[in-house]
Amino acid sequence: MPEVDLAVTPLRELNAALHKLKPDTNETSWRVLNPRGQHAIAAGLDAPILVTVEGHAGYYCAGMNKQATVVINGNAGQGVAENMMSGQVHVKGDASQAAGATGCGGLLVIDGNASARCGISMKGIDIVVKGSVGHLSAFMAQAGNLVVLGDAGEALGDSIYEARLYVRGSVKSLGADCIEKEMRDEHKAELRRLLDAAGVDGAADVSEFRRYGSARKLYHFHIDNAGSY
């Protein structure tokens, strides 16, 4: 297992080494020591490897991830897993603003809480937050799933498109065009799959969750409202 100590090795060297890895690499498991909140750790990966960050990460950790699994044994700064395409990112602590922003695929798991705008403009990513999320989470969310085992702040799902939101706790308020929707059997099955993938297993009952999504009134043009555009 390659082990890189960022107290000694420049972050640029670590990322350059990770970027050189091919899909058939034998160096499939990496350990990063002393991250000390540096930004863009393990960003832009494109190989089926495991990177374990032993400590807190700064902005955009595991951003643009593709194929890789990145585990952060600490907290993550703004934009963790931003624009992720595939693979998995697991934050063992809390995450700051815009976690999983613009993500197109893969799974982001946050064991603690996520701050404001979690899942902003998500485009296919699945996000499971075991704690609570802040205001404007899933703002303009286009596709994918956001699962929150705790509570959600103000304006959840504001200007949402077709993403699905599942919240077990309370929702302070819903954003524009976001409404509560029926929890059908297919949604319960989807939610169970996401909880299992995030390691929640049987600890959470899907019947405790409510589903939210788009009322589909905001992003269609209505002639009667022409004066408001």
Distance between CA atoms of residues 92 and 73, nearest Å = 5
Mean pLDDT of 113-127: 98
Which CATH number does the domain housing residue 9 bear? 2.160.20.60
Question: Structural domain tally of the chain?
Answer: 1
Distance between CA atoms of residues 165 and 159, nearest Å = 13
Pairing mode of beta strands 164-167, 210-214: antiparallel
Spacing of C-alpha 21 from chain mean position: 24
Q: What are 162-204's pLDDT values in tens digits?
A: 999 999 999 999 999 999 999 999 999 999 999 999 999 777 8
Nearest-CA neighbor of 164 among 205, 127, 204?
A: 127
Distance between CA atoms of residues 166 and 200, nearest Å = 14
Mean pLDDT of 46-69: 98
Q: What are 2-51's pLDDT values in tens digits?
A: 999 999 999 999 999 999 999 999 999 999 999 999 999 999 999 999 99
Look up the domain containing 114 and give its range.
Answer: 3-228
Mean pLDDT of the chain: 95
Cα dihedral 210, 131, 75, 23 sign: negative
So what's the pLDDT on residue 217?
A: 86
129 phi and psi, to 5 degrees?
-110, 120
Nearest-CA neighbor of 201 among 100, 120, 130?
A: 130
So what's the pLDDT on residue 204?
A: 85
